Amino acid sequence: MSQATDTDVSEDGVIDSVSGPVVTAADLDARMNDVVYVGSEGLMGEVIEIEGNVTTIQVYEETSGVSPGEPVENTGEPLSVDLGPGMLDSIYDGVQRPLAVLEDKMGAFLDRGVDAPGIDLERTWEFEPTVAEGDEVRAGDIVGTVPETESIEHKVMVPPDYEGGEVVAADSGNFTVEETVVELDSGEEIQMHQEWPVREARPSVDKQSPTKPLVTGQRVQDGLFPLAKGGTAAIPGPFGSGKTVTQQQLAKWSDADIVVYIGCGERGNEMTEVIDDFPELEDPKTGKPLMSRTCLIANTSNMPVAARESCVYTGITIAEFYRDMGYDVALMADSTSRWAEAMREISSRLEEMPGEEGYPAYLAARLSEFYERAGLFENLNGTEGSVSVVGAVSPPGGDFSEPVTQNTLRIVKTFWALDADLAERRHFPAINWNDSYSLYKEQLDPWFRENVAQDWPEVRQWAVDVLDEESELEEIVQLVGKDALPEDQQLTLEVARYIRESFLQQNALHDVDTFCSPDKSYQILQAIKTFNDEAFEALDAGVPVDEITAIEAAPRLNRIGTTEEYESFIDEIEADMTDELRDLY
């Protein structure tokens, strides 16, 4: 978090009362959402209510021992993040303090009153200008590049609130983030470092309809319920249904350029696992460490509640900054329910009139504001970038009718419903195919037709129909047993079983199966369809269904997922299945 230095608008006040994370101060001349330093220890806080002479502040640190009469210092600036090279490969708390730096400064326990800049101010970066003297630049334009990590080239941009002008100096060389790298004739100086208030979306020219999928490498997600680059998705799940694994699979395998992962109010040990694991993982596309395209934000459940409230904003502002450079960013928030609870907690401390289940009445508005910051954008500098948001929801007692889940569903367009029953039956990923949906299907169909297969949408629809029919038939089977069904329906059940077992299920722990390209997904579905077509031919020719389901080649469908050389393997299975079935009549 940035140490704001400019104090012309500020007028210091004194603490009036203290109650947990909520402090009121008198005589403080501050604007809404200004950052203030509270008490003699200088605890960071934010103004959240102004009433007459009394200003209410939410404090991002523990307030034990703070007493009335201590000073409150206003920085005159809203809660902002430091933007610049060095954010990737970093791990931050909810107000963008780097956890590694905090460990150096105060040891294993998070003490209070310690500030640390979000990006390293000492480190030098190799700057290469992309503009020359005499070039005209405007706000948002890219003026140079910095190799930020092995896989990502950081673009240095004119801050959006600059007027712009003609470049009078631009040199390559090694600079710290605070040194000027480009000077304009308007007198404006451009550094690699920018600040941006977290609660305000970064400006863009235009928001467009997404047309490309965020390829996740997970069959059920890419195949049946695709998410667009720039789209929004929700993963609600009761505890133990594999929510965190699903999020982490996305962070590992999705084809975004940049991943921002927010651990909001989650378990400390779980965050440690992410922190330990991610640096060891390789990016499947480049073979470089996954961390070199990842920014982690970890605010565990016992860290101050106000910082939990702000961590999703910190995350999305960082995501927007990379979007401005023209990158596709995927943001995972685990879990938005904890964020909503933080809002509820602060709201109740403010004695606001509660809405549904004690959540503040503005819950829906805050959620939609946040998800609206996702999208495919035309940036100020003419590039195109996107932010896709995947929010996990933890409904209490697994009840989807609670306010956070319901308000989220009204906004997001993709819904991956995790199911505890499926998880108990060890069907992973436990995404329920009857309850989930994606409203991006039609939008993305042209892309799938062009890049995967012309008949992709039709094949997908066929699979969905079979699964639908299965769930209807299952109800009858429960009453009368499978043998009482007509033969063609028995065969449909068999086909549906293969769709579930070889297509929907995917083993995240298997080296090959953990990632599945869209082409492979398509081929698997095609292979099952081949079985379906040939089997029904055989049935029409009078072959009993028991003989059809007993063929030896079909069970090999279940092994395609774990086979690396899948194309030849599928050809072989298809040929064998066809031979076997045709031999029957």
Partner 1 sequence: MKEYKTITEISGPLVFAEVDEPIGYDEIVEIETPNGDIKRGQVLESSEGIVSIQVFEGTEGIDRKSSVRFLDETMKMPVTEDLLGRVLDGSGNPIDGGPDIVPDERRDIVGAAINPYAREYPEEFIQTGVSGIDGMNTLVRGQKLPIFSGSGLPHNELALQIARQATVPEEDEEAEDDEEGSEFAVIFGAMGITAEEANEFMDDFERTGALERSVVFMNLADDPAVERTVTPRLALTTAEYLAFDKGYHVLVILTDMTNYCEALREIGAAREEVPGRRGYPGYMYTDLAQLYERAGRIKGREGSVTQIPILTMPGDDDTHPIPDLTGYITEGQIMMDRDLNSQGVQPPINVLPSLSRLMDDGIGEGLTRADHGDVSDQMYAAYAEGEDLRDLVNIVGREALSERDNKYLDFADRFEEEFIQQGYDTNRSIDDTLEIGWDLLSTLPKTELNRIDEELIEENYREAEDAETAQVEAE
Residues near partner 1, by CB under 8 A: 15-20, 24, 26, 62-70, 91, 99-100, 102-103, 107-112, 239-240, 263, 265, 267-273, 275-276, 298, 300-303, 305, 338, 341-342, 344-345, 347-349, 351-352, 354, 357-358, 394, 396-399, 424, 426
**Residue nearer to partner 1 on the CB measure, 5 or 478:** 478
DSSP string, 523-545: HHHHHHHHHHHHHHHHHHTT--H
Shortest distance, CB of residue 358 to partner 1, whole angstroms? Answer: 4
**Residue nearer to partner 1 on the CB measure, 107 or 542:** 107
Shortest distance, CB of residue 437 to partner 1, whole angstroms? Answer: 26
Shortest distance, CB of residue 511 to partner 1, whole angstroms? Answer: 17
**Residue nearer to partner 1 on the CB measure, 42 or 354:** 354
Sequence-distant (≥ 6) Cβ neighbours of residue 486 within 8 angstroms: none
Length, in residues, of the chain: 585
Shortest distance, CB of residue 507 to partner 1, whole angstroms? Answer: 13
Shortest distance, CB of residue 521 to partner 1, whole angstroms? Answer: 25
On the CB side of 416, how many CA atoms lie within 13 Å of its CA?
A: 31
**Residue nearer to partner 1 on the CB measure, 442 or 552:** 552
Quick one: 275 exposed, middle or buried, by C-beta within 10 A (0-12, 13-18, 19+)? middle
Shortest distance, CB of residue 104 to partner 1, whole angstroms? Answer: 10
Determine phi and psi for 82, rounding to 5 degrees.
Answer: -85, 125
Sequence-distant (≥ 6) Cβ neighbours of residue 233 within 8 angstroms: 227, 388, 389, 390, 391, 412, 413, 414, 415, 416
Shortest distance, CB of residue 278 to partner 1, whole angstroms? Answer: 12
**Residue nearer to partner 1 on the CB measure, 17 or 180:** 17
In the structure encoding, which two tokens stand for residue 509, read together?
């722990």
Judge contact between 141 and 166, C-beta under 8 A. Answer: no
Shortest distance, CB of residue 31 to partner 1, whole angstroms? Answer: 23
**Residue nearer to partner 1 on the CB measure, 194 or 394:** 394
**Residue nearer to partner 1 on the CB measure, 394 or 443:** 394
What whole-number distance in Å separates Cα of residue 585 and Cα of residue 583?
A: 6
Q: What's the 3-state SS for 133-188?
A: CCCEECCCCEEEEEECCCCCEEEEECCCCCCCEEEEEECCEEEECCCEEEEECCCC
Preceding omega of 457 cis (within 30 degrees of 0): no
What whole-number distance in Å separates Cα of residue 560 and Cα of residue 580?
A: 19
In the structure encoding, which two tokens stand for residue 296, read together?
């982690």
**Residue nearer to partner 1 on the CB measure, 335 or 388:** 335
Shortest distance, CB of residue 262 to partner 1, whole angstroms? Answer: 13
In the structure encoding, which two tokens stand for residue 240, read together?
């133990």
**3-class DSSP state of 338:** helix
**Residue nearer to partner 1 on the CB measure, 20 or 457:** 20
